[in-house]
Structure 1
Amino acid sequence: MPAKKTFQDDQVIEKIMHLFWQQGYYHTSMDEIVTVSGVKKQSLYNAIGDKHTLYLRSLQRYHQQTLMRCTQAMQRLEQDGAAPLTILSMLFSRDLTATDQPAGDLMANAVAEFGTTDADVQRATNWFYDDYLTLMAAVILKGQANNQITDEQSSMSLAQSLLEARIGLQTRLRQGSQPDIQQRQQAWLTFLARH
């Protein structure tokens, strides 16, 4: 009879997610995962899976948490009557200067580390960016409808450019650079505003 599981998957994945976020996939050993999670290696394998599966679960958790927090922040801003550009500003700069988490973004780190060499990781990162893009495009479309955001390009094209700028900033932060986030944000808001 297998031993009874004595840990919560979500709490364990949360700890492992932060480890991967800090160190990357290839620089994280199973021994470090065991130490950080506080769960024996065999128990992790039996309950969740191998290192690759743990990484994919970490990406999934990051995806869910990030999108949920963004959606909640958007709803609060909308309830307060914030303009679409204000909401877009939040989506653009959200967590870029956070000091209570590793630098950069787990998804941007995954793309930098794996590129197109792992189909599962590529699917996870594409899914995340598609969802983030959809959030941005919806806000832009709303701003275009009320003449606050330029309509010289489609909402999706503008959202794609904005998202790619955000990913670039996340990568720079991960490299240890300290770009002026507010200056970049202001430049984008000026570009997007309807004149």
Structure 2
Amino acid sequence: MVVKDASVVETAMMIQFWQRGYYQTTVDDLLTVSQLSRTQFYRQYHSKRVALRRSLERYQITLDEQLDQLIQRERARQTPLPALIAACLRLPFQSERWPAGCLMVNLMAEIGSQDASLMAQLQTIYADLQTRLVGLLSPQAKTLPTTVAEAAASLMQVRSGIQLLAKPDPSGAQLKQQAQTSVNLIMGAV
């Protein structure tokens, strides 16, 4: 029996859920993308719900890695803070490797409050991302037209809207402009 790398398997399942949604994804779809046998799948994940939870854990790890890389790269370039934050809002991942939109936002819209433990996991990812924004905004607290917490919460709302717009039409230039304009308004950088 071939043992598959869990990160590779969970990334493949994450992309499947991201592209098709939770309810439209079947266990057979997960078997296909993960290249696991049915026995291996049930031994490792027990159910589609557990596979989704593990995929979300992989999503959070990947999002954190992508944010770290983005922040490090943009700081090295001395990118102005509003442009850096706008780039953060456009994540996830901004490449052809990843589906359009945001798995977290998609699942919040699809599943809503139907699954309390899944919602808690999604809220944790959301809160972690908002905390990252607070960290970026804190050095600029005195220049913001509002509190850091309010600015970060507003930016997260902008991010959710941008990700919902990206799902059907991921036109990069338009989303970039919308993100930058919103960030400038929230940060008073206009």
Q: Give the TM-score normalised by structure 2.
A: 0.88
Measure how far apart 1:105 and its partner are: 0.5
Match of 1:169 in 2: 162
Match of 2:125 among 123, 128, 131: 128
Moved more, 60-69 or 93-102: 93-102
Match of 2:177 in 1: 183
Match of 1:29 in 2: 26
Moved more, 82-91 or 132-141: 82-91
Do the aligned partners of residues 51 and 181 (structure 1) sit closer, same or farther apart at CA in structure 2, a change above 3 Å counting? same
Match of 1:14 in 2: 11
1:38-69 C-alpha deviation (Å, 9 max, x unpaired)? 11111111123211000000011001110121
Distance 1:89 1:177 in 2: 15
Measure how far apart 1:172 and its partner are: 2.2
**Structure 2: 5+ residue runs without aligned partners?**
none
Contact 2:82-2:189 at 8 Å conserved across structures: no
**Structure 1: 5+ residue runs without aligned partners?**
none
Match of 2:52 among 55, 66, 77: 55
Identity of aligned residues (%): 24
Q: Which has the larger radius of gyration?
A: 1
Contact 2:86-2:176 at 8 Å conserved across structures: no
Residue type of the partner of 1:58?
Answer: S
Distance 1:72 1:123 in 2: 26
Match of 2:86 in 1: 89
Distance 1:40 1:177 in 2: 34
Q: Give the TM-score normalised by structure 1.
A: 0.86
Distance 2:105 2:132 in 1: 18
Match of 2:40 among 40, 43, 46: 43
Match of 2:114 in 1: 117
Match of 2:74 in 1: 77
Secondary structure at 2:161's aligned position in 1? Answer: helix
Q: Number of residues paired by the alignment? A: 188
Measure how far apart 1:190 and its partner are: 2.8
Distance 1:7 1:99 in 2: 24
2:136 equivalent to 1:143 = no
Match of 1:193 in 2: 188
Question: Whose helix fraction is larger, Structure 1's or Structure 2's?
Answer: 2
1:107-164 C-alpha deviation (Å, 9 max, x unpaired)? 011101110110121011101110110111111112235x4xx2x2111111111111
Q: What is the Cα-based RMSD across aligned positions, in Å? A: 2.1
Residue type of the partner of 1:70?
Answer: L
Contact 1:15-1:37 at 8 Å conserved across structures: yes
